[in-house]
Amino acid sequence: MQQPGIIQALTPEIEERIRNNPLLNIDTFIIPSPYISDPSARKDPDHSYVWIDEGEILGYLLCYSSADGKEFLIYKLVTSPYGRGRGIGTEFLVHLAGMIPPESEVYLYVWEKQHETVEFFRNKGFDPKDSIVYRNMVYHRLSAKREAVLEKVGGEQKRAPAADEIGRTRHDARKTLRSLTAMVNALAPENAGRIIEDINRETTTLVNMLNMYRDSMAMAHEVNLQDLILERLVPYVETSKEKVELAINLSASKPVVLGHWLNIGRALVNLASNALDAMAETDRPSRLTISLEDSGESDVLLRIRDNGIGIPEELLLPGEDGKPLFIGRSTKGTGKGEGIGTAQIWSTFGSERLNIASRMGEGTEWSICFERSALGLTKRFSSLQRRFHELQGLHEEIEITEKSPRTDIITAIWQVRKREIFLYELLERFSRHHNIRDLYRTVLAYFQGSLSEKEFESQVSEWKGEHPALNAWLSVTARRVCRRHEQLASQVDLAAFRGALFKSYGQSLEKVIIFTLNPATSEFLATDRKLAEHLDFVPYLGPDKDRMLRGEFVGDVNIDSNPIYLGVWSVNSQDDLLDKLRLLRDGVRTILDYGIHPEKKLSLYQTTYVRHSRDVDSDALTTFGEFSQMDDEEILARFARDADDEMQGFLAALD
């Protein structure tokens, strides 16, 4: 799990660098919560660390220890926006556990509504102990013995290296591909509609399965087992080359449980695959029974029973690791399996929820007990709810005045941009019933003063989203973004902070950020590409779009190899071509003034309307520094080319 980078001691000098680094101070809520219950605890420099990658601080852990050196409090654990998803938090835990004395305890406090954080630490061996009320909010104390952390996290690292995970993904992908092949072979006029739906579903599952290797899915979410059985398990069995009598009994009153949709789906397909193989090795007709029923008030019981060859009694016995001996090894003939399927099943459900009964010559039954969900929330909604509370309920804004230091102002800009990016995600939740570009135009008009707060709130209240709470969250978030911008603009000259205003959009690591720039004024407006078009910003930046530039970027603009794209709307003549190249050069110089590195890659957009035989060369590559230094003759020679002529007749007709 270790990523490129190095863990070093957190020295006073580095702490000062952290205090002056806006990227490490933008979070309005520190994870875990900084709270100390032990008056004797003191800051422990020997067990506080920083993560440095190529000279950049991407995270730090600040630890306090008790007077007797037996308890260690994780006071702060912070990761830069550009270090998230790299396993830095986990590496800090491993390093801390490896350095503290045997039998010592590590603990921390987490706000009760931070479900993802609680889940993260519980997966690392931490158990909830008690709760306290701090600043009128409830916090859970999570603690773990040093040995438990090393065993849990170290075990995870040993069990799930990249090669093993690729092997498991490859194993499951083969099953899905076999199912897709069977569906294609079964395609006929009378079943085309159903088969095509099944193919689309399996294709989506395959894509999600491959994406899972890339993405983290640490937070448990709601899974409807009945839907999962009907959407994943039944089509898989029905398209099997073996003739199977399938009996289904879905009698659970509330089949919604907590788990991971993709993990559970993979495990159930593995169970079905193993059952089909076991039944294929007998001479009798194959029969597979799937039942889903209530088990008490809080549990749901899933049973999958086949009448295959069964599992030898001696392989059902537990091994040294507590698992039945057949787990992780194939019970099929030579060359017919790798045992990966049973290992994935066991990993997904674990010994506490699994019961396996089998008799040679009669068949096997897997019983899986699930905890029924009481949340009533989807994963997405739960995540949005948590983040809304973090950004709103726990917000502690830095007070900005005319005398505020530059670092505080930049931190405030990054904080408000973080809330604005959250606003983009809220807007997406209304896309089922609205064109979200129309909704964003309403938000933009409010931000730019063309729409009053009362008018804005009235419109937002009428939007139809996935949950009624989203309207209130969006309204509150937009108001606080707007008021914070107004407060900043009233206290400081934001023209001197356009670099921070521009770079702060890079917190949205996976979104494509589009912007429209007026080089004459150095002003720009930007947002998520899904929410707007470049032209939406033109009325707020100046009267003439042909004197502006359109652009886009993804992620951290300080990564020089990730290009920023720039382009113009039209080229009408040879003189206009040179004029537009000059405009691009002006824009490049403006963005360099924002603090972009001269080595930053620059790419050029295809021109939207070309009414001339020559055009800007969108295939030419350069850097911001190089392009900014070129004279007219060089820029025309290197960045102009013959125009593509496919659209010339159409554009001439438009004129």
Q: What is the DSSP secondary-structure string of 232-296? A: IIHHHHHTSSS-EEEEEEE--S--EEEE-HHHHHHHHHHHHHHHHHHHHTSSSPEEEEEEEEEET
Helix residue ranges, H only, 469-511: 469-491, 498-503
Q: What is the pLDDT of residue 29?
A: 64
Beta-strand runs (E) in 322-385: 354-359, 363-371
Q: Is 130 exposed, middle or buried (0-12, 13-18, 19+ CB in 10 A)?
A: exposed
d(CA 118, CA 142): 8
Amino acid 371: pLDDT = 82
pLDDT value for 131: 84
Q: What is the C-alpha to C-alpha distance for residues 361 and 605, in angstroms, rounded to an integer? A: 67
| Residues 284, 267, 349: CA angle, nearest 5 degrees | 115
pLDDT for res 227: 85
The pTM score is 0.62
Q: What is the pLDDT of residue 34?
A: 79
Give pLDDT < 50 ranges for the chain. 1-4, 158-164, 166, 211-219, 333-338, 376, 394, 646-655
Q: What is the b/e burial string over 236-271, where b = at least 16 CB atoms within 10 angstroms of the residue's CB?
A: bbebbeeebeeeeeeebeebbbebbbbbbbbbbbbb
Say if CB 391 and CB 421 are below 8 A apart.
no
Q: Which tokens is 498 given? A: 């356009």
At 478 the pLDDT is: 96
What is the torsion angle, in degrees rounded to the nearest 10, for the CA atoms of residue 487, residue 492, residue 498 and residue 499? -110
pLDDT for res 171: 53
pLDDT at 647: 44
CB-based contacts of 552, cutoff 8 Å, min separation 6: 512, 513, 514, 515, 529, 564, 565
566: closest CA among 557, 575, 443, 410?
Answer: 557
Q: φ, ψ for residue 133 (rounded to 5)?
A: -105, 120
Q: Residue 487: helix, strand or coil by DSSP?
A: helix
SS3 624: helix
